[in-house]
Structure 1
Amino acid sequence: MRVAQPRSLLFGVGLSLALLCSMASLARAEAEPEVPGSGGLDLADLKAFTEAWARIKEQYVEPVDDRRLLEAALRGMVAELDPHSAWLDRARFEEVQAQATGHYGGLGMRVSPQEAHLRIESLTPGSAAELGGLRAGDRIVAVDGRPVAGLDTDRLSQLLRGEPGSRVRLEIERGPRAERLAMELTRQIIRRDSVHRVDLNDGLMLIGIDSFQQSTPAELDRALAWLDGDPSLRGLILDLRGNPGGMLQSAIAVADRFLDEGLIVRAEGRGPENQEEYVAEAGQFRSDLPMAVLIDGETASAAEIVAAALRDHGRATLIGQTSYGKASVQSIWPLPNGSGIRLTTARYRTPSGQVLEGSGLAPDLPVPVAVDDPLDRELERAIAWLNMQLEANATP
């Protein structure tokens, strides 16, 4: 025997949501005039939403709780806007906040998504990944029993990260014979630096930025202060390969470290009052040094802003492959139930006026992608280019 849910509860929940939608529509109508074709709601639309909710609750083949429906409605509502906007459940929202600060629970390794696995590129010394026996070059094929093939970057990050002290089971393949191994590791607090420097010898230095988090400008300042005291420094490489972006303000601050003046980026939001231009201030680092910027197909968003600003102002030459092509700015707000919402709030143009969405930044010196090549061809090309610039400048 099927016992129907009380209709008062069903319509109470549905009516509440309908009223919320109605209030939002009314508030929008009061704030700005209705634009023809903008899709304003009428009473029939609100009734349709309420009835659909009730039908699902009463007629769907399996019971569905209200929270699941509410979260599905929120998720679908935001996902319809664009690929970069999203509703974030409580766990995902906390993870995004942790990423911004650079502190989170994880394993301490750098991975790159491949078609059917995650390739481990490097391990943090003393990390759970290193102590647990993982090696650079290992291929992760499943996390907690779930195959990683086909999962997007956000979902992969969610699977690998979690509360410090929690356990995670990895299935990996190792070596040319794809030896299958199972490992169980304990997540630890990861305090991830986003900036690192590598002495390339002969007066050349590489500064790599993995992402743009809150601490990135301060980390870069420490690296530049150390370099500023080196009288042998002759050339600089900024490595933005694999950098997915991050915080807009941090990216602007990084670009400003290498520019004295001029537009860094123009952000175009909704309405004329939401147009922003971010301009460099005087005081760049060592303008006398030739500078190359490494980019690839995973250089995206905030990282593209930095690369474009340095190239457009003639401060650096771009070397590598065409970048990802994401020309939008997302803002994140907390919601009362602990979840959050990430919305695209602006689109940006480079100083030259270019819109990168879908096309990306083309490098000045292209370097073809070499599959399974143990040599760093982009870095080799950058070193060769810097040496050519130095030789040309030294010619009387």
Structure 2
Amino acid sequence: MSRKTSLIVLACSLVIIAALVSGAMLRAQHPADASGPAQQLGIMAEVYRYINDDYVVTPNLHKVSDGALHGLVDSLDAASSYMDPAEFKLFEQNQQHPAAGHVAAVVSKRVGYADVVDVQPGGNAAKAGLVRGDFVEAIDGLGTRDMSLEAIHRRLAGPLGQSVTLSVVHLHHSDPVQITIPFAVTPAVPLQSSLQSGVGVIAVPNFDTGRSAQITKAIRSLKAQGAHQFILDLRNCGAGTYAEAEHTANLFLTHGTITYIEGQKYPRLTTSATSADAVLSAAPLEVLINGGTSGPAEVAAAALQQNGRAKLIGDETFGEGSVQKLIPVGDGSALWLTVARYYTPNGKLVQDGLTPNIQQVQYAGALPQLDFPPEGVTGPQADLQMQKALHLLTAAPKAAAAGARR
């Protein structure tokens, strides 16, 4: 790009910024302060000018602008992203023709790199050695630190017969290892239910469509087998739809707020329980959670906890719950912008994670923040969280009976 062209681009950019500044100032009800939009846009214009005038070589202003826009949106939250025209085209293609294969893992972005929230048992990611708590440094040689969450998800899916190579840092290790995962059709994971010591246990792997109906069927089956107390296991449940999670919470509630969504320009939308949809509103209930409990599962767990229906037992949850909106921009680029967030009945952000009523690690010797199987230990291990929940449920009737005999 010639010096003259660079100056023209800069001039146009400054005109646009000046217009934004003027509009912001006209709309303001009070004079702009140092942190106001007018002041910040003015600083951006000044930095732009210094880059163009004083950088060691004539800068590529298009590259500068693209980097600034990516950084601007990425700084908001992990779920928001700016897509340049090429990225937006790939996004649209993926929306119109979703990839048939996936790695069968739930991946988010919390500490700079992609982190693994949950891995589907028996899926290709699990077979390749990926586990909850791993960090993915790179995908096919491209670092995830500068990659949007949308791009990460897109690269973890692809045509059947192809594969993806990840650079992964496992727990307890500092050096990354390369693992290759073939793309495959993600099979439906069945709901698990059992009767343990007279307690009905329902383990929910995800909240895929139809899950709440399966849970209803499991409740009725367990009641027919004699269950009068229940455990809802939401550990390592990081995928699915919020609607299914809300329906599931309603199975155990006759009234009260389940969740609400709200944003700066997104009117509050509240989901409340109705007695007509409740199937188990009185039987004693406990809910198991851990760091793999994310998104929809957190909404269900919070509803049961904060409506006084159940205690949460286990570890703090992952913390995820927001709504994004696609906003095309005139030059062919687009924003994938968070416009609303999920809140618990008590008004806490779901993305801040849930704190259990009873802190209990699953694995002996583990720390609450690092509740994973001990390194080098294989084979079945005692599930301390399940043991704790069973003890609390079965001990209560015995204590009540003993008190009545006194």
Using the size of structure 1 for normalisation, the TM-score is 0.68
- Match status 1:285 vs 2:283: no
The gaps in structure 2 that reach 5 residues or longer are 367-372, 375-380
- Partner residue of 1:167? 163
State the Cα deviation string for residues 335-390 of structure 1 (Å, max 9, x = none).
25364322253473x334556775x4332222136433532221222222233346
| CA distance in 2 between partners of 1:102 and 1:389 (Å) | 50
After superposition, the C-alpha distances for 1:14-71 in whole angstroms (9 at most, x for unaligned) are 4554455455556656767456436242795575365356459xx46597472x4343
Residues in 1 aligned to 2:146 and 2:68: alpha-carbon distance in whole angstroms: 22
Q: Residue 41 of structure 1 aligns to which amino acid in structure 2?
A: A
The separation in 1 between residues aligned to 2:301 and 2:103, in whole angstroms, is 30
User: Offset of 1:82 from its aligned partner?
Assistant: 4.8
Count residues with an aligned counterpart: 373
Structure 1: runs of 5 or more not aligned: none
Q: What percentage of residue pairs aligned between the two structures are identical?
A: 20
Structure 2 contact 101–159 (Cα < 8 Å) conserved: yes
1:78 is displaced (CA, Å) by 1.9
Q: Does the residue aligned with 1:41 lie in a helix, a strand or coil?
A: helix
Pairing partner for 1:41 from 16, 22, 38: 38
Return the offset for 1:77: 1.6
Residue 314, structure 1, aligned to residue 308, structure 2: yes
| TM-score of the pair, normalised by structure 2 | 0.67
Work out whether 1:388 is the aligned partner of 2:395. Answer: yes
Given the alignment, which residue of 67, 73, 89 partners 1:72? 67
* Aligned counterpart in structure 2 of residue 377 of structure 1, from 369, 374, 384: 384
- 1:5 matches 2:2: yes
* Residue 237, structure 1, aligned to residue 231, structure 2: yes
Q: Does the Cα contact within 8 Å between 2:236 and 2:292 map onto a contact in 1?
A: yes
- Equivalence for 1:190: 186
Report 1:1-396 matches (<5 A): 5=2, 7=4, 9-22=5-18, 24=20, 33=29, 36-37=32-33, 39-41=36-38, 47-48=45-46, 51=49, 54-55=52-53, 59=55, 64=60, 66=62, 68-82=63-77, 85-87=80-82, 105-108=101-104, 125=122, 127-129=123-125, 134=128, 154=149, 157-158=152-153, 161-165=156-160, 166-169=162-165, 184-190=180-186, 196-201=191-196, 202=198, 204-210=200-206, 215-216=208-209, 218-230=210-222, 231-232=224-225, 233-243=227-237, 249-270=243-264, 274-282=267-275, 283-300=277-294, 302-324=296-318, 329-336=322-329, 337=332, 339-343=334-338, 345-346=340-341, 348=343, 350-354=344-348, 360-368=353-361, 370=363, 371=366, 372=373, 374-389=381-396
Query: Aligned pair in 2 of structure 1 residues 346, 220: CA closer, same or farther (>3 Å)?
Result: closer
For residues 177 and 324 of structure 2, the distance between their equivalents in structure 1, rounded to whole angstroms, comes to 41
Provide the rounded CA distance (Å) in 1 between the counterparts of 2:205 and 2:166. 28
Partner AA of 1:381 in structure 2: K
Compared CA separation, residues 96 and 163, structure 1 to 2 (3 A): same
Shift in alpha-carbon separation, 1:118–1:329, aligned structure 2, 3 A: closer
2: distance between equivalents of 1:219 and 1:261? 21
How far apart in 2 are the matches of 1:258 and 1:393? 23
Aligned equivalents of 2:93 and 2:140: distance in 1? Answer: 27
SS in 1 for 2:390: helix
- Note the C-alpha offset of 1:163: 1.9
Q: Tell me if the contact between 1:102 and 1:192 (Cα under 8 Å) persists in the aligned partners.
A: no
Cα distance per residue 1:316-339 (max 9 Å; x no partner):
11101233456x734232425364
